[in-house]
C-alpha cells in the first residue's frame, strides 16, 4: 500500500501544469518577460536539453526543470548592474510557500570566443563578491568566514548552494551547460528535511556521484562533499577544476567586515524555508530509494 501511495504521488506530481519558461524569467523586480535577448532562448534550450537528458547526473536539477520549479535570469555582456535586484526578487519569492522548491539559473551572454578556465573562475567569484558587497540583508555583515564549515553563500538572507557551469569544462561535462557561463543558485532549504530539520539526501547525493562517473570523462571531483560534514567546505564545490586538482586553501570570496563584531553583536538567523514536500517523496519521484532522515 505504501508503494502504491508513493507511485500515485509521483504520477500526480508529473501532471502538474508547468508554466512557460519565459513566465519565470526575473529581471530586477519584474517577473515574466517576452522581450528577451536573441541569445537567451538558445542558451536556455541548450541547458534544458542537457538537464532533461537520460542519465544527467543531478536529478535534483532534472526534477526542477521538468516540474517548472526553476526561475531564470540573464546578464548581458559583463554588466552586473541588474543582478543584485534580480537576486533580491528571487530571495523574496523563495520565502513564499509556492516557491520553496525553486532554484534560479543566471545565464551570461556567451563570449565571442570562450574564455579560459581561469578567466571564468575569476568572473564567477567576481559576480559572487559583487552580490555580497551590495547585499542589504541585516545578516550580511555577520556571516561566517568561508573557511568555516557552517559557511554557505547567502543573499537577501537566504542561504544557497551555488554551481558554476561554463564552456571551459571539456571533461567535466556536467559543469558545461551551454555556450556561456551559467550560475545555478539552490536555496539551502531545498536540502532540509521537514521533520528532522537536518540536511537530507545523502543517499541521493551518492547516486549523483555514481552518475557523474558515467556522464563525465573524469572521476567526481575530490572537493565534492556534504554540507555539515566535518572538514567539508562548500565554496570549494562551487567552481571545480576540469581535472582533479583541488581548490586552493583560501577562498577567493572575501566576506565584508563585520561592522558590529567588536560590540559582540549576534548574527541574525538566516532564512531556512521548509520544503513543500518531504525528502522521501521528492527523491522517490525519480526512482531513487531513500529513507527520510538517513
Residue 250: all three cell numbers together: 583560501
Residue 141 pLDDT = 87
Sign of CA dihedral 250, 255, 259, 262: negative
Q: How confident is the model at residue 263 (pLDDT cuts 50, 70, 90)?
A: very low
Per residue in 198-248, pLDDT tens? 666 677 778 889 999 999 999 999 999 888 788 899 999 999 999 999 998
Residue among 105, 107, 98, 94 nearest 17 (CA): 98
pLDDT at 200: 65
Report the pLDDT value the prediction gives residue 101, as an integer from 0 to 100: 84
Q: Tell me the CA distances in angstroms from 107 to 37, 115, 124, 171, one per residue in order.
A: 11, 15, 12, 21
Backbone angles phi, psi at 3, to 5 degrees: -65, -40
Pull the grid cell for residue 110.
Answer: 556567451
Q: Which of 210, 174, 189 is nearest to 61 (CA)?
A: 174
11: confidence class by pLDDT, cuts 50, 70, 90:
very low
What pLDDT digit, counting tens, does each position of 149-207 carry? Answer: 999 999 999 999 999 999 999 999 999 999 999 999 999 877 766 566 666 667 777 88
As a whole number, mean pLDDT of residues 87-93 equals 97
- Lowest-pLDDT choice from 12-21, 90-99, 255-264: 255-264
What is the distance between the alpha carbons of residues 120 and 122, in angstroms, rounded to a whole number? 5
Let me know: does 53 contact 214? Beta carbons within 8 Å.
no
**Secondary structure in 3-state letters for 123-191:** HHHHHHHHHHHHCCCHHHHHCCCCCCCCCCCEECCEEEEEEEECCCCCCCHHHCCCCCCEEEEEEHHHH
For residues 160 and 88, is the Cβ–Cβ distance under 8 A? Answer: no
Candidate from 2-11, 47-56, 174-183, 213-222 with smallest mean pLDDT: 2-11
Give the confidence band of 10 by pLDDT, cuts at 50, 70, 90: very low
Residue 46 has pLDDT above 90, yes or no: yes
Which pLDDT value is given to residue 78? 85
pLDDT of residue 197: 66
* pLDDT for the residue 98: 87
Amino acid at each position: 500500500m505504501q508503494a502504491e501511495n508513493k507511485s500515485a504521488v509521483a504520477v500526480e506530481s508529473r501532471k502538474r501544469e508547468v508554466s512557460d519558461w519565459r513566465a519565470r524569467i526575473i529581471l530586477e523586480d519584474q517577473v515574466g518577460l517576452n522581450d528577451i535577448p536573441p541569445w537567451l532562448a538558445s542558451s536556455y534550450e541548450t541547458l534544458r536539453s542537457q538537464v532533461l537528458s537520460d542519465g544527467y547526473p543531478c536529478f535534483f536539477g532534472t526534477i526542477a526543470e521538468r516540474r517548472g520549479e526553476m526561475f531564470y535570469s540573464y546578464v548581458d555582456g559583463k554588466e552586473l548592474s541588474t543582478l543584485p535586484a534580480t537576486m533580491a526578487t528571487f530571495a523574496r519569492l523563495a520565502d513564499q510557500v509556492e516557491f520553496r522548491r525553486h532554484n534560479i539559473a543566471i545565464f551570461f551572454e556567451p563570449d565571442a570566443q570562450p574564455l579560459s578556465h581561469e578567466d571564468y573562475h575569476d568572473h564567477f567569484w567576481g559576480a559572487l563578491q559583487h552580490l555580497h558587497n551590495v547585499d542589504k540583508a541585516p545578516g550580511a555583515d555577520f556571516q561566517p568566514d568561508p573557511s568555516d564549515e557552517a559557511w554557505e553563500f547567502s543573499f537577501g538572507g537566504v542561504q544557497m548552494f551555488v554551481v558554476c557551469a561554463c564552456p571551459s569544462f571539456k571533461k567535466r561535462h556536467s559543469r558545461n551547460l551551454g555556450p556561456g557561463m551559467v550560475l545555478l543558485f539552490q536555496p539551502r532549504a531545498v536540502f532540509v528535511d521537514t521533520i528532522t530539520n537536518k540536511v537530507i539526501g545523502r543517499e541521493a547525493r551518492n547516486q549523483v556521484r555514481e552518475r557523474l562517473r558515467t556522464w563525465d570523462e573524469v572521476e567526481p571531483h575530490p572537493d565534492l562533499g556534504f554540507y555539515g560534514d566535518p572538514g567539508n567546505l562548500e565554496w570549494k564545490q562551487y567552481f571545480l577544476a576540469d581535472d582533479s586538482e583541488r581548490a586552493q586553501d583560501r577562498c577567493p570570496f572575501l566576506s565584508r567586515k563585520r561592522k558590529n563584531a567588536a560590540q559582540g553583536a549576534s548574527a541574525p538567523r538566516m532564512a531556512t524555508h521548509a520544503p513543500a514536500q518531504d525528502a522521501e517523496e521528492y527523491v522517490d519521484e525519480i526512482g531513487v530509494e531513500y529513507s527520510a532522515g538517513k
